[in-house]
Structure 1
Amino acid sequence: MSKPTYYVPKGGLPPQTQLLTDRAVFTDAYAVIPKGTLSDITTSALPHWNKARFWVLARPLSGFAETFSHYIAEVAPGGGSTQPEADTSAQAVIFVVAGEIALNIEGTEHVLGVGGYAYLPAGCGWTLSNVSTEPTSFHWIRKAYQPVDGIAPPRPFVTTEATHPPIPMPDTDGAWATTRFVDPADMSHDMHVNIVTFQPGGVIPFAETHVMEHGLYVLEGKAVYRLNQDWVEVEAGDYMWLRAFCPQACYAGGPGPFRYLLYKDVNRHMPLGHP
């Protein structure tokens, strides 16, 4: 397996001469946030974070994401946080796409480089710092954990993409594969954050329509993606949000692999809205 590459936002600001026309789309069923919108003026600051800024790609909002939030963090050398998470119900996945971080989980320190992945359960004590001489960037995906009677909550873990070979989807000859960091049969987890890879010519050969909400960040390559009734061109650095039951399909035309980081909510009953 070749060493993976991941797109990292560059920030900055477009010149005054640039045309306003872009690929940004926001609908009731899906949204597309192109990489060109990830400029300096679209970042946010968060409490108790030092020398850090965040692009917020998704957040719980009426008519938008319902189950999760998704940030891309950029932390300068010497930056980080000793109080990163204020919500004790929030679990998280950290996925490093540039540089290196020191992640302390319940008193144990781990150094994560590019491709490093960490799962942080709700209520877990953790801190994060950039102890290198270069900026670091990572995805931070958060979801309120839904406990289940008789099932213990998951434990924290740290791993790396390189130790999880992609698993081909049935009858695709490896053209469509998923890198899974959690066993799908493990009912303690109520969210999965995976990496999906399509080789050139690989497709989702039907309009997937299902209850899972999706957040997709394109790490590498380009493709045409079916979102509801529309075909949209996407490339590395773009972000897609798909509402539950939004039809989706994909065609990866090449010339290289098309890969994205995928969030989905799993393994829980559907809330019925009881008072």
Structure 2
Amino acid sequence: MSYAFPPGGLPDQSQSPESTAVFTDAYAVIPASVQRDIVTSFLPGWSNTRAWVLARPLTGFAETFAQYALELAPGGGSATPEPDMDAQAVLFVAHGTARLTIGRDAYDLVAGSYVYLPPAAVWTLWNSADTACGIHWIRKRYVAAKGISIPPAVVTHEDDVPHMAMPDTNGAWATQRFMDPLDLRHDMHVNIVTFQPGGVIPFAETHVMEHGLYVLEGTADYLLNRDWVPVGPGDFMWLRAFCPQACVATGSTPFRYLLYKDVNRHMPLSL
């Protein structure tokens, strides 16, 4: 498998600034072509690390989550990575290796490794290799529910998570679910969705879940509200709640993306 990550760098002066980047009230597209060195951020508590911030809670933008692409240079990382004790997180490794600790347990992460970190988890992350490590980091404040406990940490790899075909698709559309959808301890899911070439979402999904989609590989035409947008590796899409969406996978290889959504909680009745 290959997993896209921001390309960095800077186009030379011969390149056109024309782009597919778009920001609307219903959705945003941040294509790989604009994920360059000069738009990175540096974070307190992290050393030799830079971050592309792809989504953050903001009026008229993402409401429930933040999403980063972290690049850890050799020796980079953090002993105090998370400043918000109420935040839970998912880490997904795109390339390179890293050493993760959760409490007293240590794990060696590689491309395709997936980690769920519950709120108040004590964790560290370091790149001890001589090449950079790229990690997708999704953060959400945990919403507690009466009578429901906080879920434990999970460390796994996408190779160990089966593809579950959607009904009546003959495998053309499948999801790797890292958490049991019926486990109400979880108030967010981060999954990998795969479409075989020619696979489709055969209706305009319109639902309460907010989405962040990072294209890992392949190409597609994606319906965002009323617009069909071509997307490919490294492109990021944000969809607000109730934004219609559909998909037609193009090209000759599978179209795959890392999908965030908020789930399993009552709707608050005040803003």
1:195 to 192, 197, 211: 192
Instruction: Tell me the CA shift for residue 132 of structure 1.
Output: 1.1
The code of the aligned residue for 1:78 comes to G
Take 2:63 and 2:257, find their aligned partners in 1: how far apart are those partners? 20
Aligned twin of 1:20 = 17
* 3-state SS of 1:252 partner: strand
Q: Is residue 199–residue 254 contact of structure 1 (8 Å, CA) maintained in 2? A: no
Aligned twin of 1:42 = 39
Take 1:80 and 1:45, find their aligned partners in 2: how far apart are those partners? 12
Instruction: Tell me the CA shift for residue 254 of structure 1.
Output: 2.0
The code of the aligned residue for 1:209 comes to T
The code of the aligned residue for 1:219 comes to L
Instruction: Tell me the CA shift for residue 18 of structure 1.
Output: 1.2
Instruction: Tell me the CA shift for residue 17 of structure 1.
Output: 1.8
Aligned twin of 1:116 = 113
Instruction: Tell me the CA shift for residue 14 of structure 1.
Output: 1.0
The code of the aligned residue for 1:240 comes to M
Take 1:132 and 1:271, find their aligned partners in 2: how far apart are those partners? 45
Deviations 1:129-187 (A, max 9, x none): 00111110000000000001111110011000000021000000000000010000000
- TM norm structure 1: 0.98
**Please, which runs of 5 or more residues in structure 2 have no aligned partner?**
none
Structure 1 position 89 matched with structure 2 position 95: no
- Show the 5 A alignment for 1:250-269: 250-269=247-266
Aligned twin of 1:164 = 161
Structure 1 position 184 matched with structure 2 position 181: yes
Deviations 1:93-146 (A, max 9, x none): 000000011000012111110000000000000000001111100000000000
Take 1:179 and 1:209, find their aligned partners in 2: how far apart are those partners? 21
Take 2:262 and 2:199, find their aligned partners in 1: how far apart are those partners? 25
Structure 1 position 55 matched with structure 2 position 52: yes
2:140 to 140, 143, 162: 143
The code of the aligned residue for 2:9 comes to G
The code of the aligned residue for 1:207 comes to A
Aligned residues: 271
**Please, which runs of 5 or more residues in structure 1 have no aligned partner?**
none
Instruction: Tell me the CA shift for residue 253 of structure 1.
Output: 1.7
Q: After TM superposition, where is structure 1 displaced by more than 3 Å over at least 4 residues in a row? A: none
* 3-state SS of 2:198 partner: coil
> Matched residues, percent identical?
62
